[in-house]
A and B are shown apart, each in its own frame.
Chain A
Amino acid sequence: MKSPAQPDLLLILSKERCQGCTHCLRACPTEAIRIRHGKAEVMPHRCVQCGRCIQVCPRGAWEVRSDSLEKVKKYGGAVAILDPTVFWQFGGQISPQELAEAFLEVGFSAVQDLGEALEIYGAAVSSYLSSEDRICPVISSACPAVVQLVEVKYPSLTENLVPIVPPLRILASRWTDFGRRNTEEDLFYIAPCLAQADAAIKALGKGKRLNGAIPLAEVYNPLKAIVSEKGRSPDASFGEEPLASGMRWAAPGGESGALENPESLVVDGIENVANVLELAESGLLGDVPFIEGWACTGGCLGGPLTVQDPFLARYHLMAWDRHHKGRATKGKASVDVEKFRLSRPFVSRPGMRLDEDLKVAMEKLRRIDELVKKFPGIDCGSCGCPNCLALAEDIIQGHATENQCSYILKEEAARRSRPRRRRMGNLNGQGS
């Protein structure tokens, strides 16, 4: 049986660059990483594609399997789908029109902004939030990493996720509604993060000849070169240009701002999101109607595949926002939420489950509880597991051994050395 718990990961490791340090091991919110034989390994059934590992790796060892600009050129051009995040990489230096032109110069045949699809998505979320059958607190499904975090770690909250077709799928499935005539065009999403790149491949994959995702960082340099060459635009006013919609979605609060009732709990950074979800799961959020959560600190602006500092990028976004007050695109005609309902709602992934059989799982849990007492509880990570409990779990699951713990090894070594010292008449048997 093919389990949905085994997604194909876009996340790959450069074994040359990985030095087996513990940065990613500790940062992973679902404890999906282990260091084995001196190199990091990821457990696909637990990975939520948040990209924390990419962000914290001091050697840039984690990479994203993706398409390249070379591929776009080889196929004679394709449409670049621009996430609002792309624009803020060059904040203040360029107009949306110029950015679109720069994309053509680097080899794309056309540019399509994701903003309009984001607006439709926002309107659908608005309608859903006022529907009778919603389950509170409603959790935004705009960040695919947060969705996966819920599926893996907070299974009881899967029903709270907004069951609306994601923006990229709205765009791909209603391609002609966005004023595009050619339905045979090749589409490439310019992705700010791993999770969105993965979502794009799944969303664009339907009925398209060639499609995929290109990391924002991959197109940044050639675009930057063009932008720098042209210098600062004399009139970088954004006017009514197509790229001006959905701009705010790049930063936390952008989604809530697009809703009819913006009352919401906005949280960014995967650890903070996890804390809030923990409270939600125990029913401790009171009357919070909506949670807008973003896996990255700074929202998509902080995505692991972006280049610009997320706070500088947000500074530019806010300057733009102040300048465009009152010209917000909010309040667009409401959409029929039923049209955008997901046909298959979200389902939990048993990523944390110890065993399919409840009795076996119980026995394992008991043994883990016993075993963990042997370890020092300092969560040093030198055994290759993120903490002592995870090591105990790995041992019971047959993936690790006790002497991976350096504390136990040290004790073992001390015990072995004692009798010999006594034989040597040293220290009267009182070893150090």
Chain B
Amino acid sequence: MNLEFEITGQDFKKAGEASFEVKHCLKRLGLPPDIIRRVATAAYEAELNVIIYALRGTMKLCVEDQCIDVIIADVGPGIPDIPLAMREGYSTAPPYVKQLGYGSGMGLPNIKKNADWMDIQSEVDRGTTLRFKVNLNEGKKRRR
């Protein structure tokens, strides 16, 4: 089963809507609170990345037997150096985005922290596909 949500670049007013939808779906599935919280947090960070950097994107929620699989694909500038982007505090967000309180360079690390598995495929000037999974059974220990 999967559901798809649209994300529009630069639309900060709608920041969080796609991930709130994802969260709402997971609640209706009756998943454990801890799983919901981790997916929601990671999904929100991924959604923001699309809003900050990309033109547009989609968030696809797939619920599998063993895990929640979320795929965020965008059309945008791409990430030239993924290991660098994964570093805490590293950000290429323009100043006006930082003024809005976003782009502190914690997004990707935060996704990694909350997900059991994550993968980034990116092509410069084309776009980025970020995918993460949260296991339903024996996931990570909770972190706060």
Contact = CB atoms under 8 A, between A and B. Distances in A.
Interface of A: 135-136, 153, 155-159, 278, 281-284, 348, 350, 352-356, 358-359, 361-363, 365-366, 369
A157 B41 CA distance: 13
Contacts, number: 66
Contacts of A353: 27-30
Contacts of A135: 144
Given A156-B33, A352-B27, A356-B30, A284 B144 contact: no
Contact of B37 (A156, A278, A358, A362): A156
A280 to B, nearest CB: 10
Contact of B33 (A155, A355, A361): A155
Contacts of B40: 156, 281-283
Nearest to B61: A365
B100 interface: no
A365 B33 CA distance: 18
Given A155-B36, A366-B1, A284 B16 contact: yes
Given A135-B144, A155-B36, A282 B44 contact: yes
Contact of B28 (A156, A281, A282, A365): A365
A283 B16 CA distance: 11
B55 interface: no
Contact of B20 (A278, A283, A362, A369): A278
Given A282-B41, A348-B33, A365 B27 contact: no
Contacts of A361: 28-30
B41 A362 contact: no
Given A155-B36, A282-B19, A365-B1, A354 B30 contact: yes
Given A282-B44, A358-B63, 8 more contacts: A155-B33, A159-B33, A282-B16, A283-B44, A350-B30, A354-B30, A361-B29, A365-B28
A41 B73 CA distance: 43
Nearest to A364: B28
B97 interface: no
Interface residues of B, number: 22
Contacts of B11: none
A369 B30 contact: no
Interface string B20-47: 1001010111110110110011001000
Contacts of B144: 135-136
Nearest to A358: B29
A368 to B, nearest CB: 8
B1 A362 contact: yes
Contacts of B31: 358
A156 B26 CA distance: 11
A158 B33 contact: yes
Contacts of B25: 365
Contacts of A362: 1, 29, 63
B30 A281 contact: no
Given A135-B144, A362-B63, A282 B23 contact: yes
Given A353-B29, A354-B28, A355-B30, A281 B37 contact: yes
Contacts of B20: 278, 282
A365 B3 contact: yes
Contacts of A136: 144
A354 B41 CA distance: 23
Contacts of A366: 1, 3
A353 B30 CA distance: 5
20 contacts: A135-B144, A153-B27, A155-B36, A156-B36, A156-B40, A278-B20, A281-B37, A282-B16, A283-B44, A284-B16, A353-B30, A354-B28, A355-B30, A356-B30, A358-B63, A361-B28, A362-B1, A363-B1, A365-B3, A366-B3
A155 B1 contact: no
A65 B100 CA distance: 49
B29 A354 contact: yes
Q: Which interface residue of A350, A359, A362, A366 has the most chain B CB atoms within 10 A?
A: A362
Given A282-B19, A363-B1, A352 B44 contact: no
A366 B41 CA distance: 23
A369 B3 CA distance: 8
A355 B31 CA distance: 11
A18 to B, nearest CB: 28
Contacts of B23: 281-282
A136 B144 CA distance: 9
Contacts of B28: 352-354, 361, 365
B133 to A, nearest CB: 16
Contacts of B3: 365-366, 369
A227 B130 CA distance: 68
A365 B29 contact: yes
A391 B23 CA distance: 20
A354 B27 CA distance: 9
A283 B41 contact: yes
Contacts of A158: 33
Contacts of B1: 362-363, 365-366
Contacts of B30: 350, 352-356, 358, 361
B28 to A, nearest CB: 5
A12 to B, nearest CB: 28
